[in-house]
A = this chain, B = another copy of it.
Amino acid sequence: MPSGFAKTPEPPYYAVIFTSTQTDDRRGYEAMAEAMMTLAHEQPGCLGAESARGADGLGITVSYFRDEDAVHAWKQHARHLGAQTLGKERWYAHYELRVAKVERAYSGPQGR
């Protein structure tokens, strides 16, 4: 598996799709994003994450979890709640967050 991809197991599992644009106030953002990515990966039931932000400013992060309980535990994690508050007050101009149950998955291309 090339780097950047989450090593997810056979479905079913959960995906949290977070799409966002940012404000001009980036104070503390990079350090927090890195800390949260590390913390998330330490959570039981976290299966990894994939993240991209384009030149137009739109970012998509998809985090994968074993089940709904793991999604909920991460949402309610004390340090993550602090990050969410700062995100709402300072860093995000707009976001959409969708919780979805992955039913099928495919890899490709064959042989690469």
Which A residues have a C-beta under 8 Å from some C-beta of B? Answer: 1-2, 4-6, 8, 11, 15, 17, 19, 21, 50-54, 56-60, 62, 87-89, 92-110, 112
Contacts and interface: CB of A to CB of B under 8 A. Distances in A.
Contact of A17 (B56, B57, B62, B99): B62
A100 B101 CA distance: 5
Q: Tell which of A96, A106, A107 has the most Cβ of chain B within 10 Å.
A: A96
Nearest to A107: B96
B99 A103 contact: yes
Give this chain's copy count. Answer: 2
B98 A105 contact: yes
Contacts of A102: 17, 98-100
A60 B62 contact: yes
Given A17-B17, A54-B53, A59-B52, A109 B89 contact: yes
Nearest to A50: B19
A2 B21 contact: yes
